[in-house]
Amino acid sequence: MTKEISDSGWNFDNSYARLPKTFFANQKPTPVGSPQSIIFNEPLATSLGLNKHALQSEDGTAIFAGNKIPEGASPLAQAYAGHQFGHFTMLGDGRAILLGEQITPTGQRFDIQLKGPGRTPYSRGGDGRAALGPMLREYIISESMHALGIPTTRSLAVVKTGESIIRETELPGAILTRVAASHLRVGTFQYAAGGGTKEELRELADYAIKRHYPEIEDEENKYLSFLQEVIKRQALLISKWQLVGFIHGVMNTDNMTISGETIDYGPCAFMDTYDPATVFSSIDRQGRYAYGNQPNIGVWNLARLAESLLMLIHENQEQAVTLAQEKLSEFAGLFKKNFLEGMRAKLGLFNEEKEDASLVESLLNIMEKHSADYTNTFRALTTDSTRELDLNGIPDFTEWYKQWEARRDRQKESKDSSTQLMRNSNPGVIPRNHRVEEALEAAVDRGDYSVMERLLNVLSNPYSYSPEQAEYCSLPAPTPQPYQTFCGT
Ligand code: AMP
Ligand code: MG
């Protein structure tokens, strides 16, 4: 297949559109009045094989606004289902349209999706639109997650639509261009298992395997291996969230990817003070998606994937259940192993000792008991500046510190290389809620994007320990109400 790559570098394939019709609806974006480019991710564009100059033009803005369909794209809305806060619902892209898959110069395949481009057959009562604040928030946090080394969807551009949308108040409308390894979700499989034929489910599974796990294509029970691989990726992903204090906030099964990327930055936020019960989302009243509960929800969601795959795993459903349960039971161990490995690196430890898990646990307990800031505690250990911590002088902490020093001394690596390992593992800066809010307020209320640009710049190098980081490490001033996030729909 040879085809022209456009001047902008678009090189679309549309493999998802070749799946059975039940999985999508062809749908074009609804054009908007007067689109205006707000932010464009040059390095990401280049890595996708796109021409950053050609796209920073009226033509590019028209594409990111949904006013022009790029050559080779085949816009569609994807169908999926999902458990939202434990309740099963039929969903689908109600405010997102997949333009197609960009094939990069190195042959990688990425979904290019517009978020907020107007109604689709899955919009139910919604308007299919998105507001500027939440779209910029997704841009900031997803790009920060990428810089932190955490698998995630990326953000290529945000444009203002020039139209208002109505929420509790009138808000400026915007569209985010999201880039993802794919948008296949646990919920896509729930949709297939619930409403489709066995053959359609098989086609979806084969498609996902080909796209994300080609190494298992020839395995004897590839659908069981598929479940196992998704479990592995999610155990790794969620351990990475825990290690940086990221709280997703809405881990519904439709917001869990098959690829193992973080998706859907709605009410997510980073934890300041260490407390496993931390919840930011205003709608998560039971703490279902609290920081400390994320691994449990991870495996709960994966059990929904397993249920959806039972038909393919074994003809005998009882045996299928046994096989799937065996794989699910591995999640906890995988998660723990990844988490402990990550914690060892955060503490500058190269080798393994039996007591490491309790050394980590003691530190976390001390942080919880004394309401210590999670990121800054690890930062202070890294920069040898624990004197500046509130924990300084607290006997528990002094005792712990001695144990940690002795533990570090027992390894053969030098203190310098241990510190280097810590610097590579403990972000000096995270997108703190008050900093993100400050940037969004300047952008949305005053049209001043400089605050956001400075923030993005610092967040793009979280492990640099550069002097510019210092001012972004300070904690928010105490507020009468705890910080809250909203779904941003
Ligand atoms: P989310 O909370 O972003 O994961 O969205 C949950 C579901 O609601 C998905 O099916 C979305 O497509 C849909 N949705 C969210 N906002 C809107 C909107 N403004 N219009 C239509 N559908 C929406
Ligand atoms: Mg979602």
* Cβ–Cβ under 8 Å, residues 134 and 45: no
487 lines ligand 1 (CB under 6 A): yes
* Consecutive H or E run containing 236: helix 222-244
92 lines ligand 1 (CB under 6 A): yes
- In the reported structure, the alpha carbon of residue 242 is separated from the centroid of ligand 1 by a whole-number distance in angstroms of 26
129 lines ligand 1 (CB under 6 A): yes
Q: Which of 193, 294, 284 is nearest to 247 (CA)?
A: 294
Q: Which of 257, 265, 237, 236 is nearest to 431 (CA)?
A: 265
- In the reported structure, the alpha carbon of residue 451 is separated from the centroid of ligand 1 by a whole-number distance in angstroms of 29
Work out which ligand 1 atom sits closest to the CA atom of 255: 4
166 lines ligand 1 (CB under 6 A): no
Number of H helices, E strands in the chain: 16, 13
* Consecutive H or E run containing 160: strand 154-166
pLDDT in tens, the chain (489 residues): 456 677 999 999 999 999 999 999 999 999 999 999 999 999 999 999 999 999 999 999 999 999 999 999 999 999 999 999 999 999 999 999 999 999 999 999 999 999 999 999 999 999 999 999 999 999 999 999 999 999 999 999 999 999 999 999 999 999 999 999 999 999 999 999 999 999 999 999 999 999 999 999 999 999 999 999 999 999 999 999 999 999 999 999 999 999 999 999 999 999 999 999 999 999 999 999 999 999 999 999 999 999 999 999 999 999 999 999 999 999 999 999 999 999 999 999 999 999 999 999 999 999 999 999 999 999 999 999 999 999 999 999 999 999 999 999 999 999 999 999 999 999 999 999 999 999 999 999 999 999 999 999 999 999 999 999 999 999 888 887 888 888 655
* Cβ–Cβ under 8 Å, residues 139 and 158: yes
Q: Residue 421: what pLDDT?
A: 98
Q: Which of 243, 99, 71, 231 is nearest to 157 (CA)?
A: 99
Euclidean distance between CA atoms 207 and 162, whole angstroms: 38
91 lines ligand 1 (CB under 6 A): yes
Residue with tokens 């709605």: 266
* Consecutive H or E run containing 241: helix 222-244
Tokens of 486: 């909203």
- In the reported structure, the alpha carbon of residue 31 is separated from the centroid of ligand 1 by a whole-number distance in angstroms of 19
The neighbourhood of ligand 2, an ion, using CB within 5 A, equals 255, 264
CA-nearest residue, atom 22 of ligand 1: 94
Q: What is the dihedral of CA 273, 275, 277, 282, to 10 degrees?
A: 0
- 24, 76, 95: residue to mutate for ligand 1 pocket, most atoms within 8 A of CB: 95
- In the reported structure, the alpha carbon of residue 280 is separated from the centroid of ligand 1 by a whole-number distance in angstroms of 19
CA-nearest residue, atom 6 of ligand 1: 91
Euclidean distance between CA atoms 158 and 456, whole angstroms: 14
Nearest 5°: the CA angle 377, 378, 382 is: 120
248 lines ligand 1 (CB under 6 A): no
b/e sequence 307-331, b meaning 16+ C-beta within 10 Å: bbbbbbbbeeeeebeebbeebbeeb
Three-state secondary structure call for residue 98: strand
- In the reported structure, the alpha carbon of residue 124 is separated from the centroid of ligand 1 by a whole-number distance in angstroms of 9
428 lines ligand 1 (CB under 6 A): no
Point out the residues that are catalytic: 254
Q: Residue 2: what pLDDT?
A: 52
Residues paired with 159 in a beta bridge: 37, 175
CA-nearest residue, atom 14 of ligand 1: 94
138 lines ligand 1 (CB under 6 A): no
Q: Could you say which ligand is closest to the alpha carbon of residue 119?
A: 1
Residue type, 260: G
126 lines ligand 1 (CB under 6 A): yes
Q: Could you say which ligand is closest to the alpha carbon of residue 93?
A: 1
Q: Could you say which ligand is closest to the alpha carbon of residue 97?
A: 1
DSSP string, 384-432: T-GGGSTTTT-HHHHHHHHHHHHHHHTSSS-HHHHHHHHHHHS-S----
Q: Residue 180: what pLDDT?
A: 99
CA-nearest residue, atom 12 of ligand 1: 94
State the CB neighbour count (10 A cutoff) for residue 163.
13
Nearest 5°: the CA angle 78, 65, 148 is: 70
115 lines ligand 1 (CB under 6 A): no
- In the reported structure, the alpha carbon of residue 304 is separated from the centroid of ligand 2 by a whole-number distance in angstroms of 16
CA-nearest residue, atom 15 of ligand 1: 489
Tokens of 383: 């920069």
- In the reported structure, the alpha carbon of residue 244 is separated from the centroid of ligand 1 by a whole-number distance in angstroms of 27
CA-nearest residue, atom 23 of ligand 1: 94
